[in-house]
Amino acid sequence: MKHDVLLASRNKNLMNNFRKYVVDKNIRFGTLGKPATLNKILKRKGPQLEVLILDMQVPEAELERIIFYVKRHKINIPVLLLVLDHLQPTKEAKEILRNLSVHGFIRAPKNKKEAIETISELNELLELDMDKRFEKIDYIQEEKVFSCTFKNGKVYFLKRTDISEDDGSKIKNTVIDKDFYYFTVYLESGKEYSVPWDFVLSKCEKNYEFYKDNTVERITPEEIGSRIKKIRKANKLTQKELAIKTGIERPNITRIELGKHYPALETLEKISDALGISVANLVVR
């Protein structure tokens, strides 16, 4: 499977070096010269972009524009900061970057040997959570099942009858979240519900720890959301502040607190870490 990576830089030599040396059959590179171009790129292929490499030589004013376009399209894309050996982000740049999901630093390759290390770092990030992120969701009407394809290539068939929130009315649409960790189903009745990756595995993957485990009493999404909201307020945090601490988009924090979907384990771990509690405090009765 091809991975789409976008390099944002104004340095033509640097961009040429990436095109010349960073060659991998699984990585498809795009380059961005002017920030305004990003708006067109995100409109066209935003959901397909998997990594943004951000050149820290880009002026702070342009950096702000790049982040504006990324957030405008609500794309929570992993970011790697491209730095020179002698250049580290300024305090002002770090402040601007706070609302992005920064995963680390990467060096600009100057030859094929250095490019091997760059490709290795990129592949490590691109392979992250491939077994937890959705690639494609299809509904098979005749069988009344969802065909759930993950980014690692595995396909699972989830029965509608396994989803307690489903009222049986006709399915209008299914949409994978921009983070790929859950998909939302829209019904003709006006109802909607979200299905996280771990719920699919719990019903379909025999090797998954919680596969059809009826001995564990599963707390409802509403109860989890209520607990998160209560503990967040006790910690005197706003939803925006919790979003920054966890790296989870604020609208998703709102959805979780309202009990709109059952959060994935990774999401619960991020929230519990930010709140200074264990996951058990959120899910155990």
Is 243:253 a contact under the CB 8 Å cutoff?
A: yes
- Tell whether 241 and 254 lie within a shared domain: yes
Rounded Cα distance between 131 and 265, Å, is 13
CA 32 to chain CA centroid, Å, is 22
CATH number for position 140? 3.30.2020.30
- Tell whether 22 and 84 lie within a shared domain: yes
Q: Could you tell me the maximum CA-CA distance found in the chain, to the nearest angstrom? A: 61
Is 152:131 a contact under the CB 8 Å cutoff?
A: yes
Residue 59: phi and psi, rounded to 5, are -55, 150
Sheet holding 101-107, edge to edge: 27-32, 3-8, 49-55, 78-83, 101-107
Which residues in the chain land under pLDDT 50?
215-216
* Domain encompassing residue 204: 130-215
Rounded Cα distance between 65 and 260, Å, is 32
Q: Which one of 67, 100, 126 terminates a domain?
A: 126
Contacts 24+ apart (CB under 8 A), 69-75: 69/35, 69/38, 69/39, 69/42, 70/38, 70/42, 70/100, 71/99, 72/39, 72/42, 73/42, 73/43, 73/46, 74/178, 74/249, 74/251, 75/42, 75/46, 75/47, 75/49, 75/178
Q: Which one of 167, 189, 215 terminates a domain?
A: 215
- Tell whether 98 and 50 lie within a shared domain: yes
pLDDT at 193: 86
Tally of domains in the chain: 3
Is 7:55 a contact under the CB 8 Å cutoff?
A: yes
Q: Which residues contact 222 (CB under 8 A, 6 or more apart)?
A: 259
pLDDT at 228: 93
- Tell whether 101 and 55 lie within a shared domain: yes
pLDDT at 216: 46
Q: Which one of 215, 232, 257 terminates a domain?
A: 215
pLDDT at 156: 92
pTM for the model: 0.49
Name residue 183's beta-bridge partners.
Answer: 176, 195
- Tell whether 205 and 280 lie within a shared domain: no
- Tell whether 102 and 41 lie within a shared domain: yes
